[in-house]
Structure 1
């Protein structure tokens, strides 16, 4: 049932090891891998010149203090930005802080993240969320499948799954790459019932942890029908315990090392 961790949920690093590192940076993902994360989660958006980058928000205000939409900027412009300093704004004043490699704090392309996972000396899976709505609509999924195909990761044995809150986006991926695993993300108690007429039986349910806390019986019912569960964002030990109790296959967490240690301990 668990994608990698036998007898326990797979530990998936949410935007990298993002509790202590700037999210979606190469530094955050390298830290997550070093902590033992079994899979890496990321959000992807398309730049104005057609590159997929790992960014959550539509704009760059939160992570780079820049009032601009990711979709309106070219990759070369994005690469000039520091998207890591916001996480530790006083680091420059700390004489004992380690030197930071600027390359680890830049906007990360999905290609670079895929290369990092491919070249790591142990198997690593990827959970890739396409963000919607976006001005590029279905082009995001098309570009994603094309890139995965370059890596040989669009077939039945791919270490990749695609996630979205948009069932339309997931159906689009299914048409483009029928063998990829799909996760329908949800945060409301009626979301799963609403999407069932449009979903296929093998879709994975991706509820938020708040939904598990508030509606455990609903989650039990979904699980009882044979549906796999991948849950976000699981940072507390009590929530890890709840996921285990409900038969969750993967926990997406900001604290991969800590979560792994708790599950194995």
Structure 2
């Protein structure tokens, strides 16, 4: 089993089991969990452009699922997006922090503030492809991270994407930054256990990994790191830690931390 200190717990769109995903409330709850437990927690965040050229934190490009509107995020300004209630799909009466969109800049401010207070929190920034503006989203995210000095070795940030070209681009522009390739429906060209040059971590759907345990063994035998998503069952978490996984992406980061630290109770 992987050592406790080496296991990364990634809060999927924040503490999204507790609050509406990708909102200030969800990220604040994950930060407070890291503050309380003193175990590092990464905040997973998907980024898109708004109509006024800002990066905003949303999983879906479309607003229908979480915002109840037919619009695309890239067609609305931040001011317009902040008027959308992104909490209504999960809670009947949302607080301002549960309903209001958060920009990438605002999320970075939250992480900076928490880290200044000694909270062991980081970021896993996911860029979505294909997108109308292509790799501009990756370049803009890196620009904002560079302004904080967070593109160098030791950065609390990891860049992640399903697009291997985007992962490679990040390696070219910010070689000191940690990167992960995400894999969902099939292993494809990565079935032999190799990863793109300079990438040592793969984040894979735990169901796909279950169907390809020989691949898991090959991957680990090559010295790569295995992260699983989105794992919400405690027994499934324990199974993958026993097999040598070093990262768990979950809607229930409290549950993951309880498993990591050898107990079945929420911390």
**TM value normalised by structure 2:** 0.88
For the Cα contact (< 8 Å) 1:189–1:218, is it kept in 2? no
Secondary structure of the equivalent of 1:6? helix
Q: CA deviation at 1:194?
A: 6.6
> Which position in structure 2 is the counterpart of 1:44?
47
**Bigger shift: 236-245 or 188-197?**
188-197
Q: 1:10 to 1:196 in 2, by over 3 A?
A: closer
> Which position in structure 1 is the counterpart of 2:237?
240
Residue 78 (1) aligns with residue 76 (2): no
Whole-angstrom CA distance in 2 between matches of 1:54 and 1:220: 34
**Bigger shift: 204-213 or 156-165?**
204-213
Q: CA deviation at 1:202?
A: 3.2
> Which position in structure 2 is the counterpart of 1:202?
199
Paired residues, number: 254
Q: CA deviation at 1:192?
A: 5.2
Aligned counterpart in structure 1 of residue 167 of structure 2, from 157, 162, 170? 170
For the Cα contact (< 8 Å) 1:160–1:181, is it kept in 2? yes
For the Cα contact (< 8 Å) 1:22–1:87, is it kept in 2? yes
> Which position in structure 1 is the counterpart of 2:225?
228
Measured against aligned partners, the alpha-carbon deviations of 1:138-187 in whole angstroms (never above 9, x if no partner) come to 11011001000111101111110100000111112122211111110002
**Equivalent residues in 2 for 1:140-159, closer than 5 Å:** 140-159=137-156
Aligned-residue Cα RMSD (Å) equals 2.1
Aligned counterpart in structure 1 of residue 56 of structure 2, from 22, 44, 53? 53
**TM value normalised by structure 1:** 0.89
Aligned counterpart in structure 1 of residue 109 of structure 2, from 111, 115, 136? 115
Measured against aligned partners, the alpha-carbon deviations of 1:202-245 in whole angstroms (never above 9, x if no partner) come to 33111111122211221111111001112111111121122112
Q: CA deviation at 1:193?
A: 1.9
Q: CA deviation at 1:197?
A: 8.1
Q: CA deviation at 1:198?
A: 7.8
